[in-house]
Amino acid sequence: MLDKQFFNDIKFYPYLNSRFINIRAVRGQQAGDALYKKYSVLSTPTVLIAMANGEEIDRLTGFKSPAENYKNRLEETYKNENTLYNLKKVYEKNPGNFEIIAKLVQKYHSGYNLDKLVEFSKKLVKNPEEAKKLRINKISAYEFGHYALTYAAPEQVLTFVKMFPESELRVEGINNIRRFFHKPKLHDTILNIFDILLMKYPEDILIIEYYAQFCTETNTNIDNCIILIENLFKTQQEKISSGTAMFYVHLLKEKGYENKIQQLCETISHNKLTEIVYFFQRDEKYDQAFTILDHIIHKYPNNYNFLYAYGKNAVLSGKNIDLGLEHFKKCLELIPKSNQHAHALVYCERGILYELKGDFYKARVEYEEAIKLDPNYKEAKESLKKLSEKY
CB under 8 Å to 177, separation ≥6 — which residues?
Answer: 150, 154, 157, 190, 193
User: Which three-class secondary structure state does DSSP give residue 177?
Assistant: coil
Q: Yes or no: say if 380 and 351 are a contact pair by the CB < 8 Å rule.
A: yes
What is 165-256's CATH topology?
A: 1.25.40
This prediction has a pTM of: 0.69
Angle between helices 154-163 and 187-200 (to 10 degrees): 20
Give the phi and the psi of residue 107 in degrees, each rounded to 5. Answer: -65, -45
Q: Which pLDDT score, from 0 to 100, does residue 100 have?
A: 92
Q: Yes or no: say if 380 and 374 are a contact pair by the CB < 8 Å rule.
A: yes
Q: Yes or no: say if 295 and 261 are a contact pair by the CB < 8 Å rule.
A: yes
Question: Digits of tens for pLDDT over the chain (391 positions)?
Answer: 788 888 888 888 888 888 888 888 888 899 989 998 888 887 888 888 898 899 998 888 888 888 888 888 888 887 788 899 899 999 999 999 989 999 999 888 887 788 888 999 999 899 899 889 888 888 899 999 999 888 888 888 888 888 888 888 887 888 888 888 888 998 999 999 899 889 888 888 989 999 999 999 999 999 999 999 999 998 988 888 888 999 999 999 899 998 898 888 888 888 888 888 988 898 898 998 999 999 999 888 999 999 999 999 999 999 999 999 999 999 999 998 889 889 999 999 999 999 999 999 999 999 999 999 999 999 999 999 988 887 7
Q: Which pLDDT score, from 0 to 100, does residue 45 have?
A: 87
Q: Yes or no: say if 216 and 250 are a contact pair by the CB < 8 Å rule.
A: yes
In a 13 Å sphere around the CA of 295, the CA atoms on its Cβ side amount to 23
Asked if omega into 202 is within 30° of 0 (cis), the reply is no
Q: Which pLDDT score, from 0 to 100, does residue 41 have?
A: 85
CATH number for 1-79: choose from 3.30.200.20, 1.10.1060.10, 3.40.30.10, 3.40.50.1240: 3.40.30.10
In a 13 Å sphere around the CA of 305, the CA atoms on its Cβ side amount to 9
- DSSP secondary structure letters along 185-222: GGHHHHHHHHHHHHHH-TT-HHHHHHHHHHHHHHT-SH
Q: Which pLDDT score, from 0 to 100, does residue 382 have?
A: 92
φ/ψ region of 219 (left if φ > 0, alpha if ψ in -120 to 50, else beta) reads left
Q: Yes or no: say if 239 and 209 are a contact pair by the CB < 8 Å rule.
A: no
The pairing of beta strand 46-50 with beta strand 56-61: antiparallel
Domain spans of the chain, in order of start: 1-79, 81-152, 165-256
User: Which three-class secondary structure state does DSSP give residue 322?
Assistant: helix
Q: Which pLDDT score, from 0 to 100, does residue 228 have?
A: 95
Q: Which pLDDT score, from 0 to 100, does residue 322 have?
A: 96
Angle between helices 205-218 and 242-255 (to 10 degrees): 40
